[in-house]
Structure 1
């Protein structure tokens, strides 16, 4: 047997608007890693996390019969910022969310969503429609009690109490407070109102530049899921301003936006700062960008090129890949999650039951460079044998940088 191919990768993962702590994320990551092992017939192990204010880090070692990949995984934290919003009273969070929603309406977002992807427009309207239903139910309860008791004040008190109960349940179960917090964060991001986040993204950008220059990793991958794709673009833009040659003369840099909310922000008329950042990232010669979308995920923009949709002047563009969530999972597993739009959305960052062209963990710790997988319509499927062996061993012996260069050109 030929000597094993050993490769190194550095991954920065920016998750969506999710308040889970780094400890919880790591536990779920390890559980999903077991599924990845079974699906691709490989061995993988993750270290314990090291948690700081900006990120949580752990190492991965993945092995097949004739390859080995060492991955330095860094979870970019903003769960603390989300959690601080959750600590506020619902009586303040909901009105702030409604205000943010109206700001997006005034910014022309709804019309743009309808023109671009009607499914996302439905998701945009979901929290307000749900809130209106809960208000209507509470009013009906109050009116009923007022009429039966003959005391109007009793009806008002019962109606208010009913609304409070509905917001806490089923409102929480239906993610209403979280969605309004999400819109409030998005408005604040557009208006650059969060200095804590701004400083954190700047520090991560410095990390990306330092990693690109020290050449310890053969490939740097920034993964942005959901609203995290917006922050990943922001980080890359800052890194490019610090080091314009990023990815051109040293370590290859890959942007992987999956189930992204790039157009959620970009289609707001006030998001000129973000659109300029997106244009600079799209034009960066040293960045390979893969954009992955799915029809059944109502929280992403299916069959859209974000750069083209925003009318940005670029000579380059992301490689847009449409994937099928149904094909990633066993039929029974898919049936269990298909009506849970949050769970379907999160499949982009979970392990698959079946081998498909898109596999989150294959991008993180598989033997094929992320850049090569992006440019291949079949991803890693045709390169990995049933026993986990890298089939094209001669290609595998080439460096990540060389193979990414060939794929990009």
Structure 2
């Protein structure tokens, strides 16, 4: 239960949420927040409510909370790049298989795949899954196409005239093989909302296409995101909290590194917090041309104007759990770094055995657990962080990093943008 006398250093907050590689409308995040915040408030004994806001950004909503008598208002805004994601997911079936070959070659030839496996096998298996599954689809399509040709050949042999001989029969066989094979591949493509093979293939391909460098459209969007953060920092709030989930974590790193290099300082303005959840930073920072991201990691980890907290969990097979993104990339300054504070959401301990057994095999659901309610919460509560009375800096001022975090440099490439 919440304390009767809850300390408070935030009464008004702006939360800027950067989603991962997600083609869906941001109302998904609003509805998830509404549902899960209500569940967490009931479990933890505080009050929280949500309301619509207008004219406050592309997609935003308001939140009010009362924790132990401390009342807080927050505005949560989702920064959109789903249009970029959708555009990258439009390729045809043949183009997707070309992506598969190019992406696999990029990670294998650069040595990134084998170095990533030294960190965590879970996210590497997640990365290999679409390759294996798509190749399996192709083999099945070829097998069924071949079976159809054999069956068609047998049927031709039963005809009273020898049309089974010559060019006509060969042409019919090719047409039958391609038709059946294409029908199988198209069947899987239409049902990818159950298999996620195309979705994940496009996700990994998007980073690998430029070998870790940001494509121009993403660089332009990062500049827009930075402008939104600057606007929030100029508003009358106590804290601006940037949240980056999954691929949104490395986008947020670049956004805030650009802000840092612009010379922004807190002064009399709001505190700046940065929360990264379920990051997959090494999937990009280990690639040969990720100089920009590596420079951003190197610079941001030293900034004294920010509080950066990184939360992952070994139960999340899609994230590089407890891997310090700065250190494992090999770009930590020689004189030491300030950030991030790395600790685990410890799903097996913060979820009851019943709840854990219910979702532990739902890998994509687990990747979003950071944004959901915990029925045995400890010191990680997404809704208190985003809508509660304490700033990120105050909430984790005494928090020590997880002892089992991984900080050993593993990337072959450590070059940084000038």
Which bracket does the TM-score occupy, shorter chain normalised?
Answer: 0.7 to 0.9
CA spacing shift, 1:2–1:107, aligned 2, 3 Å? closer
Task: Work out whether residues 291 and 321 of structure 1, in 8 Å CA contact, stay in contact via their aligned partners in 2.
Answer: yes
Partner of 2:387: 365
- Cα distance in 1, alignment partners of residues 94 and 55 from structure 2: 33
CA spacing shift, 1:117–1:4, aligned 2, 3 Å? closer
CA spacing shift, 1:374–1:90, aligned 2, 3 Å? farther
CA spacing shift, 1:35–1:98, aligned 2, 3 Å? farther
- Cα distance in 1, alignment partners of residues 374 and 270 from structure 2: 29
Q: Secondary structure of 1:173's match?
A: helix
Greater helix share, structure number: 1
CA spacing shift, 1:183–1:352, aligned 2, 3 Å? same
Q: CA deviation at 1:123?
A: 1.5
- Cα distance in 2, alignment partners of residues 98 and 39 from structure 1: 48
Query: In structure 2, which of residues 240, 243, 259 is the aligned counterpart of residue 239 of structure 1?
Result: 259
Q: How does 1:331-370 map to 2 (within 5 A)?
A: 331-370=353-392
Partner of 1:392: none
Q: CA deviation at 1:213?
A: 4.3
Partner of 1:163: 185
TM-score (norm 2): 0.82
Task: Work out whether residues 298 and 331 of structure 2, in 8 Å CA contact, stay in contact via their aligned partners in 1.
Answer: yes
Q: CA deviation at 1:97?
A: 4.8
Task: Work out whether residues 6 and 68 of structure 2, in 8 Å CA contact, stay in contact via their aligned partners in 1.
Answer: no
Q: CA deviation at 1:28?
A: 2.2
Q: How does 1:289-308 map to 2 (within 5 A)?
A: 289-308=308-327
Partner of 2:45: 41
Q: Secondary structure of 2:195's match?
A: coil
Task: Work out whether residues 14 and 228 of structure 1, in 8 Å CA contact, stay in contact via their aligned partners in 2.
Answer: yes
- Cα distance in 2, alignment partners of residues 168 and 3 from structure 1: 51
Q: CA deviation at 1:377?
A: 4.1
Task: Work out whether residues 7 and 389 of structure 2, in 8 Å CA contact, stay in contact via their aligned partners in 1.
Answer: no
Partner of 1:262: 281
- Cα distance in 2, alignment partners of residues 329 and 252 from structure 1: 31
- Cα distance in 1, alignment partners of residues 396 and 285 from structure 2: 23
Q: Secondary structure of 2:59's match?
A: strand
Task: Work out whether residues 219 and 369 of structure 1, in 8 Å CA contact, stay in contact via their aligned partners in 2.
Answer: yes
Query: In structure 2, which of residues 249, 263, 270 is the aligned counterpart of residue 229 of structure 1?
Result: 249
Query: In structure 1, which of residues 316, 323, 327 is the aligned counterpart of residue 345 of structure 2?
Result: 323
Query: In structure 2, which of residues 202, 216, 220 is the aligned counterpart of residue 199 of structure 1?
Result: 220
CA spacing shift, 1:51–1:179, aligned 2, 3 Å? farther
Task: Work out whether residues 218 and 251 of structure 1, in 8 Å CA contact, stay in contact via their aligned partners in 2.
Answer: yes
Q: Secondary structure of 2:301's match?
A: helix
Q: CA deviation at 1:326?
A: 2.9
Q: CA deviation at 1:301?
A: 1.0
Partner of 1:176: 197
- Cα distance in 2, alignment partners of residues 88 and 160 from structure 1: 15
Task: Work out whether residues 239 and 272 of structure 2, in 8 Å CA contact, stay in contact via their aligned partners in 1.
Answer: yes
The range that moved more, 136-145 or 205-214, is 205-214
Q: How does 1:78-89 map to 2 (within 5 A)?
A: 78-89=81-92
The range that moved more, 140-149 or 303-312, is 140-149
CA spacing shift, 1:248–1:256, aligned 2, 3 Å? farther
Partner of 1:68: 71
Partner of 1:219: 239
Partner of 1:20: 24
CA spacing shift, 1:87–1:156, aligned 2, 3 Å? closer
CA spacing shift, 1:288–1:3, aligned 2, 3 Å? closer
CA spacing shift, 1:23–1:172, aligned 2, 3 Å? closer
Partner of 1:8: 12
Q: CA deviation at 1:211?
A: 3.2
- Cα distance in 2, alignment partners of residues 108 and 14 from structure 1: 29
Q: Secondary structure of 1:307's match?
A: helix
Partner of 2:415: none
CA spacing shift, 1:51–1:96, aligned 2, 3 Å? farther
Q: How does 1:308-319 map to 2 (within 5 A)?
A: 308-314=327-333, 315-316=336-337, 317-319=339-341
CA spacing shift, 1:51–1:324, aligned 2, 3 Å? farther
1:142 equivalent in alignment to 2:163: no
Task: Work out whether residues 108 and 269 of structure 1, in 8 Å CA contact, stay in contact via their aligned partners in 2.
Answer: no
Q: CA deviation at 1:327?
A: 3.2
The range that moved more, 58-67 or 101-110, is 101-110
TM-score (norm 1): 0.83
- Cα distance in 1, alignment partners of residues 58 and 110 from structure 2: 33
The range that moved more, 102-111 or 345-354, is 102-111
Partner of 2:99: 96
1:256-276 CA distance string (max 9 Å, x none): 111001111111121011100
CA spacing shift, 1:120–1:24, aligned 2, 3 Å? closer
Q: CA deviation at 1:279?
A: 0.9
